[in-house]
Amino acid sequence: MFNSNGFPQPTLISVNGVELEVFEAGKENFGNPIVLCHGWPAHAFCWRYQLPALATAGYHVIVPNQRGYGNSARPTDVTAYDLAHLTGDLIALLDHFGYDDAVFVGHDWGANVVWGTALLHPNRVSKLIALALPYQERGDIPWVELIENIMGPDNYMVHFNRNPGVADAILDRNRQQFLRNLYRKNEQTQAPDLGMAMINLAEAEADTGEPLMTDAELSVLDAAFEVSGFTSSINWYRNLDRNWHLLADVDPIVPHPALMIYGDRDTIPKSPNLSDFVPNVDVVSLDTGHWIQEEKPKDTTKIILDWLKQTSAS
C-alpha cells in the first residue's frame, strides 16, 4: 500500500528496545534483503527513486526511519544514539525479518552507520554500498577534536558538541527555511560564510542553486521534522567521540565487497586511502553535489543495480 506521494505506508516495528518506522517494498522477494539507510537531516523518503527499482530487480527492500527520525522512537538520552545503538537497530531489524545478513546501503550519516555495521557486526553484512561518506579512519585523536583542529570551532559538527541546544533551537524555529535552503542542487561554488554553516542556512532568506525537491516532496521532510524536531537527529553527532572510543579495539579492515559512490561537487572530501581499509571496494563518481541518489536518481540506481549484479556473478 502506498501513500499519495507514491512511497509505501510504514509499519512500526519494535526492535532493540525502540520502535522504528519502517517502509518496505518487494516483500514477495523474501530471502533477498537490502537495507537502505538515510543520512542527516533526512528521511527514508530520500530513497524514493531506488526503492521501487530494487524491488523490481528482486530485492526485499527495507527502509527504516532510524531512531531519532520521523515517527521512530526518540530517546532523550544522548548516548542512546551511539554507533552501538544505531547498528544494533539494524541488526535487530534483520532478526525481526529472519535474515542472517543483508546488503546495506547508506548515504551520508547512513553510510557511517553502514560502515559501523560492517565493523561491529561483520557476519551480518553481505555487501555494502556507501554514498557521499567514505570509510572514516579512526586515527589517534578523537573525532570532534580532530575536526576542530582542521576546520575550526565553527564547523557544525564541532558546534553541535560544544554548544548543545543552540543550533537545535534555531533549526526548529526556522525549520521550513532551513530544509528549503539545505536541499539544493547545482549550487555555485563560493567561499564559505563566516559562522556555523547550518545556522547560516537556517537564517538565510535564500540560498544558491536550484531546489532539489518539489514543494510536495519537501513537505514530507518538513512534516517529519515538525514532529521530531532536530535534537534527536543532531544527537548522532554528539556521539562522535563516544563512537571513537567504541571502535578502539575493533578490527579496522572492512573485507566485504563494497561500492563507494562520490558526488564530484560534494564538499565531503574523497578518501585518499580507502582501499587500505576497504580492500574489496569499487569506486564511482557522479557529477552531483551531496544529495547523490536524489540529484541523479537514474544514474545512481543503475550503478547500484549493475554493481549488485556484477558482484553476485563473480
Q: 135 with 162: CB under 8 angstroms?
A: no
Angle at 137 between CA 132 and CA 141, to 5 degrees: 125
**Which residues, 6+ apart, have CB-to-CB distance to 270 below 8 Å?**
134, 262, 285
Distance CA 64, CA 36 (A): 7
Distance CA 145, CA 143 (A): 5
- Identified catalytic residue from 89, 108, 168, 266: 108
> Known catalytic residue: 266?
no
Supply 40's cell numbers.
Answer: 542527516
> Known catalytic residue: 101?
no
Best CA proximity match to 143, nearest among 68, 236, 230, 75: 236
Q: What is the largest CA-CA distance in the chain?
A: 52
Catalytic positions are: 108, 290
